């Protein structure tokens, strides 16, 4: 099932664009000064990624919150975007209530549940997407809606639509090659502890990969970014360990000084493990490259699960945790 969901990534993106274009938001009287994206897990990672992809265009600061409590700066001049695929994420519902009590401008992205009920009852701006998938596998449906929300509020232009369209064409054309290369990468990572490195502007993509390794492949991993890791973690490479693998997410648009840092970091890591892997993003522009790496990474995590002989969909421990929390007063 997970392989079918990953294979459907570009069709999900296409559907998302069609849904987003139909969004018809009411205008706000608030003078927006900042943006807070609230969400967790597969619903929350989109906020981290969008904040980096639009940083050069959006004039307002975007903060991502993955907790029960919202920052004190939130007020009537804050746009709060609540992302909950199920519509019932308890942490996001608590953040919503706090934002509502503070008079914030609220927009909701969901497939239904309590959030859909609230939005329709109170009149919040909402983009409702198709439900029924594991939240992490609905990324293609939910993530593009963040662009549309920001666009509806006049915070970004609609250039992202063409970027997503080109990304879909690229991935469809490269699909066989992506799957074949992902299998080879998974073989190198199998039986190791993965360490993911990338340039800071792509950290959200690295976090997504780490999350997918945990949920799909049932493995722990770590990530860090260039140049920050050159100021601390690089010193930690001191012991030969073939049980480690290092994955560098690269881009042809890297800042030249970071390119030099990455090459040196590869050199250092290669002294202590032979499992050093580079994945270079294809496409023009940050949006295309991010979507390409996300899709590539998803296939790797599926292949790792297959190599381990485990179910990539199952997340029983999370279900058990939610059941436990549901029993609390």
The Cα 30–Cα 24 span in angstroms is 18
Domains of the chain, residue spans? 2-157, 176-308
CA atoms within 13 A on the CB side of 305: 22
Say if 2-157 and 176-308 have the same CATH topology. Answer: yes
The pTM score is 0.95
For the chain, the distance separating the N- and C-terminal CA atoms, rounded to the nearest angstrom, is 36
* Span 108-163, pLDDT tens digits: 999 999 999 999 999 999 999 999 999 999 999 999 999 999 999 999 999 999 99
Q: Which one from 91, 203, 215, 254 is the annotated catalytic residue?
A: 215
Q: What's the burial of 46, exposed, middle or buried (CB within 10 Å: 0-12/13-18/19+)? A: buried
The per-residue pLDDT for 329 is 62
The per-residue pLDDT for 322 is 80
Query: Domain 2-157 belongs to what architecture?
Result: 3-Layer(aba) Sandwich (3.40)
DSSP string, 242-305: TTEEEEEEE-TT--HHHHHHHHHHHHHHHTT-S-EEEEEPPSSSHHHHHHHHHHHHHHHHHHHH
Q: Do 263 and 270 touch, CB atoms closer than 8 A?
A: no
The per-residue pLDDT for 15 is 98
The per-residue pLDDT for 316 is 79
Residues of the chain with pLDDT under 50: none
User: Would you tell me which CATH number, out of the four given (3.40.50.10490, 3.40.50.720, 2.120.10.30, 1.10.10.10), belongs to the domain 176-308?
Assistant: 3.40.50.10490
Closest CA to 38 of 61, 16, 67: 67
The per-residue pLDDT for 292 is 98
Question: For residue 27, what is the DSSP state?
Answer: P
CA atoms within 13 A on the CB side of 301: 28
CA triple 160-301-169, angle to 5 deg: 30
The per-residue pLDDT for 315 is 80
The per-residue pLDDT for 64 is 97
215 noted as active-site residue:
yes
């Amino acid at each position: 099932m997970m392989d079918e969901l990953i294979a459907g990534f570009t069709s999900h993106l296409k559907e998302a664009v069609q849904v987003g274009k139909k969004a018809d938001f009411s205008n706000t009287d608030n003078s927006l000064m900042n943006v807070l994206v609230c969400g967790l897990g597969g619903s929350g990672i989109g906020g981290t990624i969008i904040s980096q992809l639009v940083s050069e265009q959006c004039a307002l600061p975007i903060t991502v919150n993955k907790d029960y409590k919202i920052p004190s700066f939130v007020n009537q001049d804050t746009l709060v975007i609540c992302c909950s695929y199920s519509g019932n994420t308890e942490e996001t519902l608590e953040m919503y209530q706090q934002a509502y009590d503070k008079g914030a401008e609220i927009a909701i992205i969901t497939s239904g549940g309590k959030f859909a009920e609230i939005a329709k009852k109170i009149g919040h701006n909402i983009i409702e997407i198709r439900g029924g998938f594991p939240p992490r596998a609905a990324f293609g449906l939910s993530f593009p809606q963040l662009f549309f929300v920001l666009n509806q509020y006049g915070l970004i232009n609609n250039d992202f639509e063409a970027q997503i369209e080109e990304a879909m064409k690229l991935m469809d054309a490269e699909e066989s090659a992506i799957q074949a290369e992902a299998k080879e990468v998974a073989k190198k990572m199998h039986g190791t502890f993965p360490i993911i490195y990338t340039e800071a502007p792509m950290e959200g993509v690295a976090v997504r990969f780490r999350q997918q390794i945990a949920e799909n492949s049932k493995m722990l991993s770590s990530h860090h970014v260039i140049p920050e890791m050159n100021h601390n973690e690089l010193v930690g490479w001191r012991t030969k360990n073939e049980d480690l693998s290092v994955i560098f997410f690269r881009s042809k648009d890297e800042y030249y000084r970071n390119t030099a840092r990455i090459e040196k970091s590869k050199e250092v890591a290669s002294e202590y493990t032979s499992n050093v892997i580079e994945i270079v993003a294809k496409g023009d522009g940050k949006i295309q490259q991010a979507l390409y790496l996300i899709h590539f990474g998803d296939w790797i995590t599926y292949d790792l699960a297959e190599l381990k002989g485990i179910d990539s969909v199952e997340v029983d421990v999370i279900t058990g945790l939610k059941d436990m929390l549901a029993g609390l007063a």
